[in-house]
Amino acid sequence: MFPGQGAQYVGMGKDLYEAYPAAREVFDRADEILGLKLSKICFEGPEEELQQTKNTQPAIAVTSLALLKVAMQESPSLAPRPGYMAGHSLGEYAALVAAGSLSFDDAVRLLRTRGELMQSAGEQNPGTMAAILGLDAVDCEEVCRESGAELCNLNAPGQVVIGGAKGAVVRALDYAKARGATKVIPLSVSGAFHSSLMKPAADGMVQPVATAAIGDPVTPIIANCSAEPITEENSIRHELVDQVCKPVQWSQTVEYLGKQGANTFIEFGPGRVLTGIIKRMLRKSTCINVNDAASVRVEL
């Protein structure tokens, strides 16, 4: 599993870069591809520069893939290929690299483009996002219908992120509280990601995705848009365009994996949000978080 936006923090990957040549190769290659010191932004900030969507997206994916590479090198028990791959939002790109469907170079380029397009769409169609805790998806959908907001991330039962024009989101939070939400949290973001306000970004991704070298994954990817496996390149191309302005079905993804008998989950990347969600949803599962140099030796 690979995290999405919101997992970033200044200093991520620095200890890994300093300790492992394999991680240095990953970060140095990303710097070369982009023609900028993404590694310096990850390690030193400033925070406002790291928070720019055009930097955040490749930064999280590169850190995640560096952690995966070092963990594979340091952990013999990871040698068997997993049954499934999944990533939240931009994390889907890291999952595709891990599954052998997308090259690291193309993933970095596409995520930089995706970040630039989403940042631009946020300026063109100003919007915001907010988390609603304590209401189920059906209630949140009704709140959105009443307010004009949209569902963006269905992360877990009782944990939904909405987005849209600022006025619509403000109304939605009032309606959510009236329906009994235990907490509503406005998010500091540059746009309403995974909503219809990102349509210009989705349109802008069509050609870059169409021309990228994408192959069938060796391991099935659980798609953000459908929470079902995708196993061939044409479906992946559609997914990478559609997921820009459609909600991330993470709760359904976890439910699907649980029904397939998955009982061990490993999250590679900064933060530990996905690990926490899965542990709450599938209480008997084993959840392992690999987010720094101290955690790369995994025992299964």
Q: Spell out the domains of the chain, with CATH numbers in brackets.
A: 14-123+196-295 (3.40.366.10), 127-187 (3.30.70.250)
Catalytic residue positions, numbered? 89, 194
Residue-level pLDDT at 80: 79
pLDDT of residue 79: 79
The 10s digit of each residue's pLDDT in 181-233 is: 999 999 989 999 999 999 999 999 999 999 999 999 999 999 999 999 999 99
Residues in the chain where the model's pLDDT stays below 50: none
Helix (H), strand (E) counts: the chain: 13, 8
Distance CA(26)–CA(34), nearest Å, equals: 13
Evaluated on CA atoms 259, 265, 269, 270, the torsion sign reads positive
